[in-house]
Structure 1
Amino acid sequence: MTHGNPIGSSAMLGHLRMDYSSYSGIARPGKGLAPFIGQINFNPGDQNAHLIFLAPEPNLMDRALLALLDHLSWESGGRGALRLLAEINEDASIFEMLRLSGFNVYGRQQVWRFVDLPHNGEKNQLWRSFQQIDQHNLINLYHAVVPPLVQGSEAMDKRPVQGYVYYMDSELLAFVEVTNGPKGIFLTPVMHPNIREPEKLLKDLLRLMNSSNGRPLYLAIRDYQSWLNSATESLGGTPGNRKIMLVKHLIHKQRVSVPATIRKVLEAHGTETTSPILHNSTKNKNETSNDIIASNK
């Protein structure tokens, strides 16, 4: 959305780049059939990898796609990701294939598009840039507003973020994460329901973002913040397709035996034994599919 065509030159010429953030895989379903192409992105310091695209769209119901999804999951885990996130349209036919591959729904959202933004002429801005001193307040806001299912899937409080904050009476009531790309800006707000004038706050946010060099702006309203949709519509936003957000957890707990002497010490101190966390994909990547071609970016 913010980076343009996902299967353009950035994907096809990825092998020319030396960074470790992106990975492209190709699976061949059979002789004479078009191959499946998929790409993931993982930023160092994050816990989540993102499924960027799968193609070609008309053939995504072929079961050979499962081999590609499994391979991309394995590569995500190999790069240190704990989860692989995906986002699709609500009516997308690939939904069942993602479910078969181990993805689960953790939320839904409506994405609004803005082209004509309010003029940035007023000096009294309600927002300011997020700073490190806001981290503790952001964690409190995040845990108060975001449902546990989403928290466990995205873990926004455990990764570096960029964006803007809004305070009222020294209390952080709103944060918006900003993701920039050459084709647009993507905003994900976390706003406390105690905010009395959400339309005024969103309007000031759009005015603040008006220096985007003509790039469109996308505002994602999660279903648990659906009360913001009416304010977004009144500001001239154009609704896009509703999105389903999915997650595939790449780790699982495994029980291990504890020597009796250690167990007695733990029990004496009232401490519960814990299980180490292992990556869910432990098989050799060559076992995933013999017809998968990889490309690092």
Structure 2
Amino acid sequence: MIGSATLGDLWTLRRKPRNQVMLYNQIMLARPYRRVWFLIRCLLEGNGSDGLTLMYREPGVRAAIQSIGRSKRPEQDIVLMAIYSARCRHITDHDIWFRLLEQLCIQAGHHHIQRLYAALSQGHEELREVFRQLGFDNYTQQSILRLEGPDWDQGTTFAPMRSQSHRDVWAIHKLYGAITPRLVQHVEARESRTWVLPRGQGRQLRQRGWIMGPDDDLMAYLQLTSGVIGHIFTLLLRPEHRDITTDILRFGLGQIPDSQPVYLLLRDYQREILLPAGDLGFQPIGEQMLLCKRTTVAERGSVILKPALEPSLESHAPVPTILPHRSDAQSYDRTTRHHQQHRSTTGGSSSTHSAES
């Protein structure tokens, strides 16, 4: 049986799971993820666009799946899949994952979630097959790099970056479209307002951004997401300007005031940045497959074509009826005689009146 979480499931999630998979997104690298607190939030607010928690309950078997909503977008990230019971003979972990994930897709559709995302580590081959069977597509790969080694570049120059403003979002979106493959753009479905920095940011999570280049033709965009446990860089850079990668990252490192871990996220179409980032001290620590499933299906609407000469669509004066030649002649003949008689009578009356006068 699969259903929404209840108060009794709090004790289940507090225990150490036998099998757990964390699907780390950008936010989870910056601040800690607490599954129990997220469960309490779902209990208070209910499952919806902000997040879902579903539980699998069978005799001797408990399992959970959680997904977090993206701010102001009909999207969610799957972040946790966990099994809390001993291994059973009558059902495998593969079957439990499949049933939980299938029900999550159904519930997401009921709550008007259009896209589900998952950042799955390369080592989970069995779980990858579960996602594939349920219609998740792998649209790109992502490398996670962490600043660990010394700065082999030993440079002292900084890129002339300037702070992002509200009027720069269209230029940033244009840069994103220039360097991102069409398939990735189609899956992520971003808009220019996606790049607007959130207002009223709290202490646990903060985002900043810097741009470089002319206002209508940017060369680079650097975004920094800072949290209580780490800092994450995402970089948009035109390939022809990859020689300034270290200067841009060095500028970003200068904006970090503490010694928390620093991460850099690169897609597989940004491979030209790996080498200069390594010269600055960033080393790969993991590879992720970025998966997506759409819960909506495109539907072609029916088109009704109306006749162009339909009478009701045109407003015009009625066409006069054309009489046959014979009847028309008779009518004209009667009319002519009537007018002749009328004129003769009128003329006679006029002459009589003149004579009397």
- Same fold per TM (> 0.5)? yes
**1:24–1:39 CA contact under 8 A, matched in 2:** yes
Question: Alpha-carbon deviation of 1:140?
Answer: 1.3
| Higher strand proportion (structure 1 or 2) | 1
More displaced 10-residue stretch of structure 1: 9-18 or 97-106 = 9-18
For 2:56, the equivalent position in structure 1 comes to: 27
TM-score by length of 1: 0.75
Q: Secondary structure at the match of 1:63?
A: helix
Counterparts in 2 of 1:191-206, with a 5 A limit? 191-195=237-241, 196-206=243-253
For residues 144 and 108 of structure 1, what CA distance do their matches in structure 2 show? 19
Question: In terms of Rg, which structure is larger?
Answer: 2
For residues 281 and 77 of structure 2, what CA distance do their matches in structure 1 show? 30
**2:169–2:193 CA contact under 8 A, matched in 1:** no
CA deviation map 1:61-107 (0-9, x unaligned): 42232222122223333444321110011121310001111101000
For residues 54 and 262 of structure 1, what CA distance do their matches in structure 2 show? 58
Residue of structure 1 aligned with 2:290, choices 208, 228, 245? 245
Q: Where do 5+ consecutive residues of structure 1 fail to align?
A: 266-297
Q: 1:48 to 1:189 in 2, by over 3 A?
A: farther
Q: Secondary structure at the match of 2:240?
A: coil
**1:117–1:206 CA contact under 8 A, matched in 2:** no
Question: Alpha-carbon deviation of 1:132?
Answer: 1.6
CA deviation map 1:4-32 (0-9, x unaligned): 5545433343346548622211123x422
Read off the aligned partner of 2:140 and give its amino acid letter: G
The answer as to 2:136 corresponding to 1:109 is no
Read off the aligned partner of 1:86 and give its amino acid letter: A
Question: Alpha-carbon deviation of 1:129?
Answer: 2.9
Question: Alpha-carbon deviation of 1:41?
Answer: 1.1
Q: Percent identity?
A: 22
CA deviation map 1:216-275 (0-9, x unaligned): 12110111001111111111123111111000011111234333429999xxxxxxxxxx
For 1:128, the equivalent position in structure 2 comes to: 162
The answer as to 2:225 corresponding to 1:179 is yes
**1:45–1:160 CA contact under 8 A, matched in 2:** no
For residues 309 and 34 of structure 2, what CA distance do their matches in structure 1 show? 57
For residues 153 and 61 of structure 1, what CA distance do their matches in structure 2 show? 29
**1:46–1:159 CA contact under 8 A, matched in 2:** no
- Counting matched residue pairs gives 258
**1:177–1:189 CA contact under 8 A, matched in 2:** yes
The answer as to 2:264 corresponding to 1:219 is yes
Q: 1:16 to 1:36 in 2, by over 3 A?
A: closer
Q: 1:143 to 1:252 in 2, by over 3 A?
A: same
Q: 1:172 to 1:3 in 2, by over 3 A?
A: closer
The answer as to 2:185 corresponding to 1:137 is no
The answer as to 2:111 corresponding to 1:64 is no
CA deviation map 1:174-216 (0-9, x unaligned): 12333343322222221111213212212212222x22x4321
**2:66–2:79 CA contact under 8 A, matched in 1:** yes
Q: Secondary structure at the match of 1:176?
A: strand
The answer as to 2:76 corresponding to 1:41 is no
Read off the aligned partner of 1:98 and give its amino acid letter: F
| Higher helix proportion (structure 1 or 2) | 2
**2:149–2:282 CA contact under 8 A, matched in 1:** no
Q: 1:257 to 1:100 in 2, by over 3 A?
A: same
CA-based RMSD: 3.1
For residues 166 and 93 of structure 2, what CA distance do their matches in structure 1 show? 45
More displaced 10-residue stretch of structure 1: 15-24 or 98-107 = 15-24
For residues 105 and 237 of structure 2, what CA distance do their matches in structure 1 show? 32
Q: Secondary structure at the match of 2:59?
A: coil
Q: 1:194 to 1:123 in 2, by over 3 A?
A: closer
Q: Where do 5+ consecutive residues of structure 2 fail to align?
A: 1-27, 198-207, 311-357
Q: Secondary structure at the match of 1:73?
A: helix
Question: Alpha-carbon deviation of 1:159?
Answer: 4.8
